Structures are given as structure tokens and as C-alpha cells.
């Protein structure tokens, strides 16, 4: 049997910075006092620091009184810089990776570098630090035992609408990030996507001087923030479907009414360009009906009545043929 050479492992906590290891260093999300002594020690020892925005990281290094070799690493140059950083690690360099704020790799291109290191057998270790996801969730006043992180919503309209439908069906508390210039638009999209009555915590400028939590509903948040001058960075924590259903139980709908709701949602997905198969699959996540039942019901609804025909036009009526007539 061939012997396999053991892989180099990441260093244990408490050791000095090891050569040839990628260090992910969590940095403050606003308050520089949140930088841990261990993180400061790694930055002081690193030969190179890969940063999302070198100008932003330079402020942190100046605060620490450090002068370091900085290399930019962000979503626009990640692919071309990847080989450079991997080579430095293979040559035994001491490399730290930071983002502008929080943990690199979380809603951040640093995740790609970690994947590349894992594929190349290069050890990776994490220096824990602040995270806007956890800070917002902890201060939200919503359930925290089960949650999902969505990051930023996609911008293309069709993909965005489909994602919001998924969010509406999410049973766990959900956390989003949003930029100030898109905040009101996102709240309105959530409201129109069926989440108007959901509780939401709009967390602003976390750990900074003007930190604030707005705890309300999606519909009320739209009204309160519509005319305000929006500044700062935001995290949105949204009540999950289970908590909403427990807080606002809906009266049992008649089977016909439930079917109409299922059909309406499937038709809305079809209008967004989603295939019938995928639309049925998505609706089956929240419907009491099975996929097969939903599929048969949707096919029946696609016949030529109520002006909703999606079938190709038939030839002119002639001998041996029948024309279909719309029901009044």
C-alpha cells in the first residue's frame, strides 16, 4: 500500500504566526476597540496583508502603528490575484487576509481564496472577530435559535423576485445586508413580495456612534424610512414564517381558496420566466398539496378559459375540427 504524506495542518491557537498558512483575520465592523489582541498580533507579524480596500485597511494599521506590505484583493481582481497569493503561501510567506469590516469569507470574495487553498492543500486558520450578521441577530429581538443568512439580494428583477419568494417561504429568522441607497427599494420589494406583516429589525451602523435598531414590521418600516435621508450600512433581520404563523395564525382556508392561492403563485412565477416544473417545485415547499397535484392543477388552469390561455394558437376551424371556446 502506498504511503500518503500527511498534509500540513493549521497551527493551534496560541502559537505564533506560521509560514505557509493563510490567516483569515476578523476586523472591527465599526468600533476599532473591538479588534482582538490576537488579531492585532497576527497583523503585526504578517509579511503580507491581502485587503479588500487597502486604503481602508491602512487606517486600521495606522491605528495599530504598523507598516505592512498591502495587496488589494476584491471581487474585481480576485481571479488574477489568486495565483500571486497562493505562490506567496507556497514559498512560506506569512499572509493575512482581511475584509473592510468583519470576517473575510462571509459574503466576501475571500471565500474563493479559502476554496483555492483547500484544493491546493494549503492550511487555513481563522482569527475570530466581529460579524455584522451575529451582532444584528443578537440585538434584533427576534428568534435566534434557527436563522439563515442571505447576504445581499440579487439586483436583476426576475432573479430578485424569485429570491424574495424563497425568503417569504423561509421558516427561520433571516438576515440580509443592504446598502443605504437600496434600503427603501428592498423594503418595498419585501412588502410587495408578501412580507408586509412580518416583524423586521433594521440595524444601522452597528458598533458605531450612531448605532440604531428599528424594530417594527416590513410595511411600517417602508412608511417610516420612505422620506428619511438614509446613511450608513444596514443589516435587516426578518421574522421567519414559523414565528409569523405562530404570532398571527391565519384562519383555515377552504380547499378551493387554497388552490386559488397556489395557482396565483405558480402563475406569478411563470410570468417571471420560471419554468412550470420549477414553479411547481417552489410552490410545493409551502403548499399542502403534493407536487403531482400542483402540476395537474396548473396544467388544467393553462387551458383556454378566463383569458389565461398559454397554448399555441390552433388552426382555423374546418372539416373535422372543432374550435375551442372561452367560457363566459
| Structure confidence by residue, pLDDT tens digits, 189-234 | 999 999 999 999 999 999 999 999 999 999 999 999 988 889 989 9
Is residue 292 within 8 A of residue 300, CB to CB? The reply is: no
pLDDT band at 69 (very low <50, low <70, confident <90, very high): very high
Mean pLDDT of 3-18: 56
Mean pLDDT of the chain: 85
Mean pLDDT of 29-45: 95
CA distance 274 to 194: 18
pLDDT band at 9 (very low <50, low <70, confident <90, very high): low
Which residues does residue 23 pair with via DSSP β-bridges, in sequence order? 96, 125
CA distance 186 to 184: 5
Give the CA distances from residue 58 to residues 124, 130, 190, 250, 274, in Å, rounded to whole numbers and listed in that order: 23, 19, 37, 54, 46
Mean pLDDT of 101-127: 93
Grid cell digits, residue 19: 509560514
Residue 114 has pLDDT above 90, yes or no: yes
Residue 301 has pLDDT above 80, yes or no: no
Mean pLDDT of 61-69: 95
* pLDDT-above-70 percentage for the chain: 84
Query: pTM for the full model?
Result: 0.71
CA distance 223 to 60: 38
pLDDT on residue 45: 97
Check residues 180 and 14 and name the one with the higher pLDDT. Answer: 180
Q: Phi/psi of residue 92, each to 5°?
A: 90, 20
CA distance 294 to 300: 10
Amino acid at each position: 500500500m502506498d504511503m500518503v504524506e500527511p498534509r500540513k495542518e493549521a497551527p493551534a491557537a496560541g502559537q505564533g504566526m506560521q509560514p505557509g498558512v493563510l490567516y483569515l483575520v476578523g476586523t472591527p465592523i465599526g468600533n476599532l476597540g473591538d479588534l482582538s489582541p490576537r488579531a492585532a498580533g497576527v497583523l503585526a507579524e504578517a509579511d503580507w496583508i491581502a485587503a479588500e480596500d487597502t486604503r481602508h485597511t491602512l487606517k486600521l494599521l495606522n491605528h495599530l502603528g504598523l507598516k505592512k506590505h498591502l495587496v488589494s484583493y476584491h471581487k474585481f481582481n480576485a481571479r488574477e490575484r489568486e495565483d500571486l497569493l497562493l505562490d506567496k503561501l507556497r514559498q512560506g510567506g506569512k499572509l493575512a487576509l482581511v475584509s473592510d469590516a468583519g470576517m473575510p469569507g462571509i459574503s466576501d470574495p475571500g471565500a474563493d481564496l479559502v476554496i483555492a487553498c483547500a484544493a491546493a492543500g494549503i492550511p487555513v486558520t481563522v482569527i475570530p472577530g466581529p460579524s455584522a450578521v451575529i451582532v444584528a441577530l443578537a440585538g434584533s429581538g427576534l428568534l435566534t435559535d434557527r436563522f439563515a443568512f442571505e447576504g445581499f439580494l440579487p439586483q436583476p428583477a426576475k432573479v430578485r423576485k424569485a429570491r424574495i419568494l424563497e425568503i417569504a417561504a423561509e421558516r427561520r429568522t433571516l438576515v440580509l445586508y443592504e446598502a443605504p441607497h437600496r434600503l427603501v427599494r428592498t423594503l418595498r420589494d419585501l412588502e410587495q413580495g408578501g412580507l408586509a406583516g412580518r416583524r423586521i429589525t433594521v440595524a444601522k451602523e452597528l458598533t458605531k456612534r450612531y448605532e440604531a435598531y428599528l424594530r417594527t414590521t416590513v410595511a411600517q418600516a417602508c412608511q417610516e424610512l420612505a422620506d428619511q435621508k438614509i446613511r450608513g450600512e444596514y443589516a435587516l433581520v426578518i421574522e421567519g414564517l414559523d414565528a409569523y404563523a405562530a404570532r398571527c395564525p391565519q384562519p383555515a382556508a377552504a380547499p378551493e381558496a387554497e388552490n386559488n392561492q397556489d395557482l396565483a403563485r405558480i402563475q406569478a412565477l411563470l410570468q417571471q420566466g420560471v419554468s412550470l416544473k420549477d414553479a411547481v417545485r417552489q410552490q410545493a415547499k409551502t403548499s399542502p398539496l403534493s407536487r403531482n397535484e400542483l402540476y395537474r392543477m396548473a396544467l388544467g388552469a393553462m387551458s383556454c378559459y378566463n383569458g389565461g390561455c398559454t397554448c399555441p394558437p390552433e388552426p382555423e376551424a374546418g372539416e373535422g375540427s372543432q374550435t375551442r371556446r372561452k367560457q363566459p
